[in-house]
């Protein structure tokens, strides 16, 4: 029997989507919001009277009132360096006070290693980092720090999955940086569901972001990824934070690539290149040498290899694109790609067959970007076409030649951007010739002498059609090599 005046909580059962966080009163096979199949999980929601509801930690942050943007003052140091120039580049120049940064990546890729090294670099300049681990004990964290050479004087270690304890420690210590490894292990006692569920992730992330904004303490949240390579949990998690970073790489290669897919305080097209060594991760100042093999004087490249000057943000990286064609024993030839878009490769192969005399009928085609790098810009179309044609015809590319250009369905080669930066990086590594779209403006005439302009123009071969680019293969001094 319930006494008069007693507030009784009402328990309601709902089904919440693990992909987007949407709720529905009954189970459905497919989420009506995001379209994911078999993503609805049963949860219990407790609704109490607002006066009896416990105060949520840092659930609200607010100014005292509105004011003109011109009167808003910035801190003396608007950005703090992480000690890693490659990470600072991706973040837009450093860490902004109060920023919430989500870092995702495959297991074992180096997420925890990178952030533990960042904490050590900050301790060298007298700054304190609170490292919260829900997957390791404090002693295990110390062992990992000793392996990386981190002394740990300015690193506060906390092994816990309790959100209330984490928030209390942040408020008490007021560190310069907070690292949470990982956000899927946190648990809030006021919310139903186990750690990693949509409701738990939403509540824990909101609480941590609120604390970061209130005290202007930047926080790194390490997130798990699914087998599809996307961050686990509801998409709301990515909307709550200021920056979303992905750590990419292949376990069979030593280098790692850091990309920003969302950044409120900087660009999203910059990449950071790291190399994994015995003492952890190190930034790579010259990434082009990782992806392009050394060639001696007079060495003719193998058929099917083309060097492409890829543009990642403000940085140009030379990447080798390889292609292999072989007679198919099956009725339907295979098309396999790695590091490039399979849709663009299919389009390029169709253009090659229709607009040139390169026949791929009955042949398997394999295209690969060397080193595990991912090429996403359309400017690599011409490099893919040249690599496939080079292998199929048996003609190698001329030595020290780079290729770039976007291919249209009519077989035309369209202009690309940032040509000067691409050519500058190619010249720095000893490449003396470039195959580019016709009419490309190489560089500002006011910045170079006439002799330099003439030498540069002579090193560029302009093409309007894909078939014109293939003439570079046939007219090269190298003789064709046998191909099946």
Q: Give the integer Cα–Cα distance in Å for 41 and 197.
A: 9
Tokens of 27: 């189970």
Average pLDDT over residues 460-472: 90
Q: Give the integer Cα–Cα distance in Å for 252 and 249.
A: 9
pTM of the model: 0.78
Q: Give the integer Cα–Cα distance in Å for 484 and 443.
A: 42
Q: Pick from 186, 192, 198, 187: which is nearest to 20 by CA?
A: 198
Q: What is the pLDDT of residues 289-319, one digit of tens each?
A: 878 866 554 456 789 999 999 998 778 999 9
Block residue for tokens 């837009």: 92
Q: How confident is the model at residue 56 (pLDDT cuts 50, 70, 90)?
A: very low
Which residue blocks in 4-123 are alpha helix, DSSP H? 85-91, 111-123
Q: What is the pLDDT of residues 324-347, one digit of tens each?
A: 999 998 888 999 999 999 999 999
Q: What is the pLDDT of residues 90-147, one digit of tens each?
A: 999 999 999 999 999 888 889 999 999 999 999 999 999 999 999 999 999 999 999 9
Q: Give the integer Cα–Cα distance in Å for 175 and 134.
A: 19
Q: Pick from 395, 394, 396, 397: which is nearest to 483 by CA?
A: 394
Q: Is the pLDDT of residue 52 over 50?
A: no
């Amino acid at each position: 029997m319930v006494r008069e005046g007693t507030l009784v909580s009402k328990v309601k059962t709902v089904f919440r989507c693990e992909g987007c966080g949407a709720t529905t009163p009954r189970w459905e096979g497919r989420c009506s919001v995001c379209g994911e199949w078999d993503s609805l999980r049963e949860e219990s929601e407790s609704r109490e009277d607002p006066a009896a509801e416990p105060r949520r930690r840092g659930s609200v942050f607010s100014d005292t009132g509105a004011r003109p943007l011109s009167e808003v003052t910035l801190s003396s140091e608007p950005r703090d360096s992480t000690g890693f120039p490659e990470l600072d580049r991706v973040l837009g120049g450093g860490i902004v006070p109060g920023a919430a940064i989500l870092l995702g990546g495959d297991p074992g890729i180096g997420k925890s290693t990178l952030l533990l090294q960042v904490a050590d670099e900050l301790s060298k300049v007298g700054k304190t980092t609170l490292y919260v681990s829900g997957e390791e004990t404090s002693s295990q964290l110390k062992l990992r720090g000793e392996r990386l050479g981190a002394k740990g004087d300015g690193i506060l270690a906390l092994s816990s999955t309790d959100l209330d304890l984490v928030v209390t420690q942040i408020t008490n210590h007021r560190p310069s940086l907070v690292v949470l490894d990982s956000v899927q292990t946190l648990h809030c006692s006021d919310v139903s569901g186990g750690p990693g569920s949509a409701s738990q992730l939403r509540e824990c992330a909101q609480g941590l972001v609120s604390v970061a904004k209130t005290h202007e303490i930047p926080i790194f949240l390490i997130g798990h990824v699914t087998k599809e390579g996307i961050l686990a949990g509801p998409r709301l998690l990515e909307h709550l934070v200021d920056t979303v970073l992905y750590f990419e790489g292949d376990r069979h290669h030593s280098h790692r690539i850091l990309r920003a897919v969302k950044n409120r305080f900087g660009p999203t097209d910059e990449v950071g290149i790291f190399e994994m060594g015995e003492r952890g991760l190190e930034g790579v100042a010259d990434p082009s040498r990782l992806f392009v093999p050394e060639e001696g004087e007079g060495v003719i490249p193998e058929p099917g290899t083309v060097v492409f000057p890829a543009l990642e943000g403000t940085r140009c990286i030379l990447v080798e694109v390889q292609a292999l064609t072989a007679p198919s024993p099956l009725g339907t030839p295979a098309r396999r790609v790695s590091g490039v878009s399979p849709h663009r490769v299919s389009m390029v192969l169709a253009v090659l067959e229709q607009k040139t005399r390169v026949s791929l009928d009955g042949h398997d085609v394999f295209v690969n970007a060397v080193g595990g790098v991912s090429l996403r810009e359309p400017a690599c179309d011409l490099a893919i076409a040249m690599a496939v044609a080079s292998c199929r015809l048996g003609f190698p590319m001329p030595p020290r030649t780079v290729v770039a250009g976007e291919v249209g369905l009519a077989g035309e080669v369209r202009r690309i951007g940032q040509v000067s930066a691409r050519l500058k990086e190619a010249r720095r590594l000893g490449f003396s010739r470039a195959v580019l779209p016709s009419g490309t403006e190489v560089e500002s005439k006011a910045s170079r002498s006439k002799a330099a302009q003439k030498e540069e123009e002579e090193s560029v071969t302009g093409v309007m059609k894909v078939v014109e680019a293939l003439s570079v293969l046939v007219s090269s001094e190298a003789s064709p090599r046998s191909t099946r």
